[in-house]
Amino acid sequence: MRFISTRGGMVPTNFTDVLLSGLAPDGGLIVPESIPEVTRTQLERLRSLSYPELAAKIISLYATDIPTHDLAALTGAAFGPDHFPPPVVPVRTLNNVAEGLALVGLSEGPTMAFKDLAMQFLGQVIPYILRHGGRVLNVLGATSGDTGSAAEHAFRGQDGVAIFMLSPKDRMSDVQRAQMYSLNDTNIHNIAVNGVFDDCQALVKAINSDAAFKSTYSIGAVNSINFGRIAAQIVYYVWAWLRISDGLDSSDRAGHAMDVVVPSGNFGNIYAGHLARSMGVPIRRLVLATNENNVLDEFFSTGVYRPRGSAETLATSSPSMDISKASNLERFIWQLLGPKEFRHRWLDLETTGVLDLSDQLTRLSAEFGFISGSSSHRDRLEAIRRVHTATGTFIDPHTADGVTVALRTMEVGFPTLILETAKAAKFGETVKEALGAEQMQTPEITDLLGRAQHVVTIANAEEPLRAIIEAAALRT
């Protein structure tokens, strides 16, 4: 398996090189040259595997340059009981909310968010690559809430890796901030930016586009622009279909397709679902759920992608999706248009700020299975109440966005799986508002919120960020 850039300016390379580079040298995103196929027969052979075993099988389709036994050891460590209680990803029915509805539990890891599943894999495989090459890596990332803490907890104390994590000042929940800023490991550097997540993301892209600086300071990425994260996220789509079809006779499984509802702001998680569907996993529809920052809903509803600026990006009660420039959408549009047409039409976005693909609108749903919807604060509160009343389950506000859109779009005869985003405890104030009582303040959360926090605040500019990296970066 080889990987190329959406912009066409990168020599094809392998999986391990992709893991250390993040963004392509030409500023594009890295994509596989081809998408591997998984047949129904092959899927059936995976049914009895544990989650770590399944992860090794699926990721090996992309990580063809990592020896099989090494990859199995890496996934065994990443998804073992030290980080996740078995079965790692529980799938729970929500039939009392709506018949055929289910919740895919992606928040069992150390930071209580779905980002742990991909990040714990990177936390094993990147040090493995660095050890074999005698190298170091300075990871530069941006977070709207959960990526940062997941990365920092995966790499804290690791030799050869330093983390420089940008976050939007005062735009995360108290628990999200505490999970990051309370770490005092010497290889962790938290940087709050006076701006929104999109500003943080733009700074990461600007640094990554400076080839000389990136090379001098061995800059890498663990945001969803890193394809290693995408590969690890494909696994739970496969796992979810295997679990939801476990109770069926083998003769019924062939036609048993599912709909998957994915709360998404940066298009990374649902892009992994798109690859899973393209590989042959029986996914009928990929249902994208957004909050009031509904740039992606607008695109899949109209075919027009119109990113918004910082001033137009709203602060909502599902803050991890307060994003108005979806980085990973470039990967999908590259596939939608084909390399030549993509490079021609992407210039429209760069010059006018708008990409009009309304001529492709029918293909988005008919060929690729995408539909979308958005949710409001009131919708989130109602979804939290409805799920808790019916099942006793607490859900976080991002998952509530997924529930809201799922209930609007699900169809009889097709199981609808909602990908959980985080534990409700990370967003206790919103859950309290929905349920009218203190529910989430566990002793662990109380202890976390009481710890000293360590963060440096900078202006929304490259110069102070470069200075921090120059002063603290690891060097070989």
Any catalytic annotation for residue 432?
no
Determine the length of the chain: 476
User: Residue 211: which of 471, 31, 10 has the closest Cα?
Assistant: 10
- Cα 231 from Cα 64, distance rounded (Å): 12
**Which long-range contacts (C-beta less than 8 Å, at least 24 apart) are formed by 88-94?**
88/50, 88/51, 88/52, 88/117, 89/51, 89/117, 89/236, 89/239, 89/240, 91/239, 91/240, 91/243, 91/244, 91/417, 92/393, 94/387, 94/390, 94/391, 94/393, 94/418
Q: Could you write out the three-class secondary structure of 154-222?
A: HHCCCCCEEEEEEEECCCCCHHHHHHHHCCCCCCEEEEEECCCHHHHHHHHHHHHHCHHHHHHCCEECC
Residue tagged active-site, from 115, 205, 325, 426: 115
Collapsing DSSP states into helix, strand and coil, what is residue 45?
Answer: helix
Question: Which residues, 6+ apart, have CB-to-CB distance to 88 below 8 Å?
Answer: 50, 51, 52, 79, 108, 117
Name the residues annotated as catalytic. 115
